[in-house]
């Protein structure tokens, strides 16, 4: 599982994730102190791409992190900037 793109614009986080397997994954958004601020479960139907739009209003400027953890044991992380 990999992040293809991650960007935040106008109170929405747009994330594109690709997977080579069927299964579920948890997408978790963290702030710089490690606090979880949003979460979503994604289902992959085999090799596929998932585009997720999460409304997360009023994020302060700074660096944030996306982490995806699959039910088959894979983890991937990516940072993004809120200007």
Alpha helices in the chain (DSSP H): none
What's the whole-model pTM score? 0.88
How far apart CA 34 and CA 46 sit, in angstroms, is 31
CB atoms near residue 9 (< 10 Å): 9
pLDDT tens string 23-73: 999 999 999 999 999 999 999 988 888 999 999 998 999 999 999 999 999
Pair of tokens at residue 21: 């397997």
How far apart CA 52 and CA 45 sit, in angstroms, is 15
CB 83 within 8 A of CB 62: no
């Amino acid at each position: 599982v990999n992040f293809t793109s991650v960007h935040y614009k106008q109170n929405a986080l747009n994330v594109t994730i690709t997977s080579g397997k069927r299964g579920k994954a948890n997408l978790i958004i963290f702030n710089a102190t490690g606090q979880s601020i949003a979460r979503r479960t994604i289902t992959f139907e085999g090799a596929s791409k998932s585009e997720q739009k999460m409304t997360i209003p009023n994020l302060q400027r700074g660096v944030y992190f996306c982490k995806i953890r699959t039910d088959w044991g894979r983890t991937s992380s990516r940072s993004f900037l809120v200007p």
